[in-house]
Structure formats: C-alpha cells, structure tokens
Amino acid sequence: MKKLLYITHRVDGIGGLQRVFSIKTNYLQEHYNYDVVIVTTNAKTPQPFFDFSKHKLLNEQLTGWGPFYLLNYIKTVKTTIKNEKPDVVIITDNGLKGFLLPFFLRKSDVKIVFEQHGFRFYEAIEKKLSFFEKLNVSVKNKIIDYTTSFVDEFVVLTQASKLEWQVKSCQVIPNPLWIENVPENSLKNKNVIFVGRQEFVKGIDLLLPIWEKVIQKHSDWKLHIYSDHNPDLKLNNLVQQLNLEQNVAFHGPTLSIEKAYSNASIYLMTSRHEGFGMVLIEAMACGLPCVAFDCPTGPAELISQGVNGYLIPPFDLDAYAKKINHLIEDDTLRQQLGNNAQKSIHKFQLSTIMEQWHQLFTSL
C-alpha cells in the first residue's frame, strides 16, 4: 500500500478545487487502498465543507513574514515528511511557496508530483502591469521554471496548460466528473445558473451587466448565483444599480449543487481565466447548454462551438447577451445543445480519470 502526502493551501473552502480534491482522495483510498495524508498550511476553519473524514488531516498554521514565512513552510513540510514517511508527495499549493518547494525537497527520498490547477500567466489578464511589474513577473517565472524542474511528474488539467510549462515530464489529467444521479430536466424552467467564488477572476461583475441586457427582452427569466459572499466586490450594489433585484438571486454554497443545475436551463460562465472549468462539466452532466468567454485555459477544451454551447470572445458583453437570448428563444436548440452536452463529457468519468492517477503513482 502506497502512502500519499498531499501538500495544499487549504481544504476548508467551498470551491470546485476543494470538492474535486475530496472526491479524488476518497476514491484513491476506497478503490486503490492508498493511505492518504493531507497537510494544509493556511486553513481558515478546522472543519472542511466537503468530506475529508477518511484521511489524516493536519492543519498547520504558518507564522512569519516573507522569507521567514517560507522557511516555516519548508520546515513544516520536511517535518511532516519525516514523521509520515510517504512514498509520494503531491504538491497542490499553487502559490509561490508551493512552486518553490520542489527545490527544497530535491534531496529527499520521496517522489514529487506537482498538480497545477490554474492559468499560469494570470497577472497580465487581471490587471495592466507596469514595466517593473512585468519584470518582476518575468523573474518569478524563470525561478519557477527552475524549481519545478525538480519534480518527478508535473500534472496539468488541459492541453493548453501543458504548453505553459517547461518541465521534463508533464501529463494532462483533467478533473473528474463526480455527478452520478442526474435529476430529470426538461430545460423549460426560466432560470439560468452561475456557480463560482465571488472573486474578480470569476467575472460576476461582467455577468450582471450581461444579464441586464438579456432581461430587456426576457424579463420573466431569472439568474441564480451560487457562491460564497464577498463584500469587497459589492455585487449587491451592482444589482441595485442595474435594477436587477427581481431577476437575480444569490444562494449560498450547497452540497447538492446538481439539484440547482437541474432547476436551470442554461449555464453561464464569465471567468477572466480558468484552470479547467469544473462547473462546465458539472452543468453539462445535468444537460445544460453552456455559454462562456473563450478565456484561457479551460472552456475551449470543453465547449464545442454551437454543439454543446457557445464560446464568446473575451470580453464582448453584447455578443454574450445575444447568445443567451438565442438559447432562451429557441427551445429546440436549447434541448439539442443540452443533449449534446451530456454526451460530450463521458471521457471525464470518475473511474477513468482516477485510473490515470493510479497509473501515475504506480509508475513512480
């Protein structure tokens, strides 16, 4: 029985990353008999939202600032490795400290796998960089290229993401589809749905103006947003400014999100960048046609234009609204794209994806 040690930022969040992390590690333990230990370094609460009860979960709280913080991180990881004696260390911390970690573990006896979940060059999309900021990002990326050269296997979620990295061994293992029992959905409900964190990257500030354009023609439709609450984005203020109070509903996180998908007729994604877009295959599994910006790096590998949804040029709000209107006004098209969506995601079945992980671990 191999012992796996996962190093991650936190597992107590409510996002797709935490959900998939729970599903994957539980599957590895239940179906392949792996011994799984998870160490987190920045958990906000001791109780995870998703199920990690089958594993040994070590919530470490790092102290210090700058280089002292990094040293505490390295010390914590090395101590955990010494105590737990894993066969494989899997780094899923995509912060700078996580990228630096392989260098400091290069002399250890364990195999090192790095999981990359996001778009590498996100800084240039999220804001306009000054000359010095660009220089800083360039230097950081050169350092990361060097430190990640010490991993035994580098894993990304999409073929597009694979092109961003210069490592000796890199393979694509997508996120798995976890939804099994899909409720019936006729796609006749006048609801659209968005699922995601309330963060700038998810583009809810773009979604609401798009929706304002849609309800000018279809005022009987409603947008349902499932997310945590982030007061910094002031989304409630934006809803009021756009007079959307009757056409937008905010909902908190739920463990039964498939029920919410199955009460909607269209799925909307307005991310500025993505690592994969787990919500897209969740929505497709529930038979929803999807509309998303053609942002890096996930949607284009999941959505086939006009087949199971639509890709919109970033960040064309008018074009996005027109596609929503088109789907609202054509019941037959909506049903056709929804049926195609369900058929298009079979390759992401949980057993198929987890067999790829098992083969990776056994090959090390």
Specify the CATH number of the domain 191-347. Answer: 3.40.50.2000
At 88 the three-state DSSP class reads strand
Residues of the chain with CATH 3.40.50.2000: 3-176+349-363, 191-347
Superfamily of domain 3-176+349-363: Glycogen Phosphorylase B; (3.40.50.2000)
pLDDT digits (tens, 9 = 90+) for 108-149: 999 999 999 999 999 888 888 999 999 999 999 999 999 999
- The C-alpha angle 46, 49, 51, rounded to 5 degrees, equals 95
The secondary structure element, H or E, covering residue 326 is helix 317-329
Residue 173 backbone phi and psi in degrees, to 5: -130, 105
Q: Quick check: 214 and 245 in contact, CB under 8 A?
A: no
Tens place of pLDDT for every residue, the chain, 364 residues?
Answer: 799 999 998 888 777 788 889 999 999 999 999 999 999 887 777 778 888 888 998 888 888 888 899 999 999 999 999 999 999 999 999 899 999 999 999 999 999 999 999 999 998 888 889 999 999 999 999 999 999 999 999 999 999 999 999 899 999 999 999 888 787 899 999 999 999 999 999 999 999 999 999 999 999 999 999 999 999 999 999 999 999 999 999 999 888 899 999 999 999 999 999 999 999 999 999 999 999 999 998 899 999 999 999 999 999 999 999 999 999 999 999 999 999 999 999 999 999 999 999 999 999 9
Q: How far is Cα 260 from Cα 94, in angstroms, rounded to an integer?
A: 30
